[in-house]
Amino acid sequence: MKWVLVAAVATIASASQADERDLWMFAQWAGDHQTRPFREMLVDARLYGVVPIAQLLRSASDWRMCRASPFAVPPASNWPAVRSTLSLLKTLDQQGILRQYEVVSAYRDPSLNACAGGAVGSAHTRAFAVDVLLPRWADPQPLCRFWQQHGQSWNMGLGRYPTGRIHIDTAGYRTWGGDGRAGSSFCTKPN
């Protein structure tokens, strides 16, 4: 059991190091940006800490190539969607479905989303979405079962990209796979 935990930490740590957007970089960025109202909203909603703030504010992974900021605070108009998506993540954690993961991308402004190859009208821009990495050993099928049983009531979007990243939002009940279509989703294909 101990080696599984070590492997999970190593997997998540290596993803963080490759990404470069660690706590140190976040602290440097946060010193020049206003995050307090966003943090207060999370505290008031009892959602602060569901995702570490340094991960929750990560912009697109292609931020450097797009000459954009590594982190971004969603506009206040998106905060209801932030609360909804974080409530879903909290529920997934409480039910043991999604415990160990790293958020590698969350809110993106429309120009960064376009540069990063995001879909037009992406939930990353118009609402709030997270792309997560699971440890290599993690089984994503419990997420699919949750989506199949409860996704409609949560208005849950669940997708998986060829990179292995999993997209989660509460901006519409849908699923998709590597080609962006529902038919290729890991949740609609037979196991």
Structural domain contains residue 113: yes
Structural domain contains residue 191: no
Structural domain contains residue 24: yes
DSSP state of 176: E
pLDDT at residue number 180: 85
Structural domain contains residue 144: yes
H or E element: which one contains 130? Answer: strand 129-133
- Give CA–CA dist 86/130, Å, rounded: 9
pLDDT at residue number 14: 40
- Give CA–CA dist 89/98, Å, rounded: 7
The one-digit pLDDT tens for each residue of the chain (191 residues) are 333 333 333 344 444 445 688 899 999 999 888 899 999 999 999 999 999 999 999 999 999 999 999 999 999 999 999 999 999 999 999 999 998 999 999 999 999 999 988 888 888 988 999 999 999 999 999 999 999 999 999 999 999 998 889 999 999 999 998 888 888 898 886 55
Q: How many domains does the chain have?
A: 1
pTM, entire model: 0.86
Q: What is the number of helices (H) and of strands (E) in the chain?
A: 8, 5
pLDDT at residue number 3: 35
CB contact at 8 A, 107 and 70? no
Structural domain contains residue 7: yes
> Could you tell me the CATH number of the domain that includes residue 21?
3.30.1380.10
pLDDT at residue number 190: 58
Structural domain contains residue 190: no
pLDDT at residue number 169: 96
Tokens linked to 5: 């935990």
Structural domain contains residue 117: yes
What is the arrangement of strands in the sheet containing 129-133, beginning at the earlier edge strand? Answer: 102-105, 129-133, 166-169, 157-160, 174-176
pLDDT at residue number 69: 93
| Bridge partners (DSSP) listed for residue 130 | 168
- Structural domain including 79 reads 2-184
pLDDT at residue number 100: 92
pLDDT at residue number 183: 87
Q: How many CA atoms lie within 13 A of 110 on its CB side?
A: 3
Structural domain contains residue 189: no
Amino acid at 114: A
- Give CA–CA dist 49/71, Å, rounded: 17
Q: Which residues contact 122 (CB under 8 A, 6 or more apart)?
A: 108, 113, 129
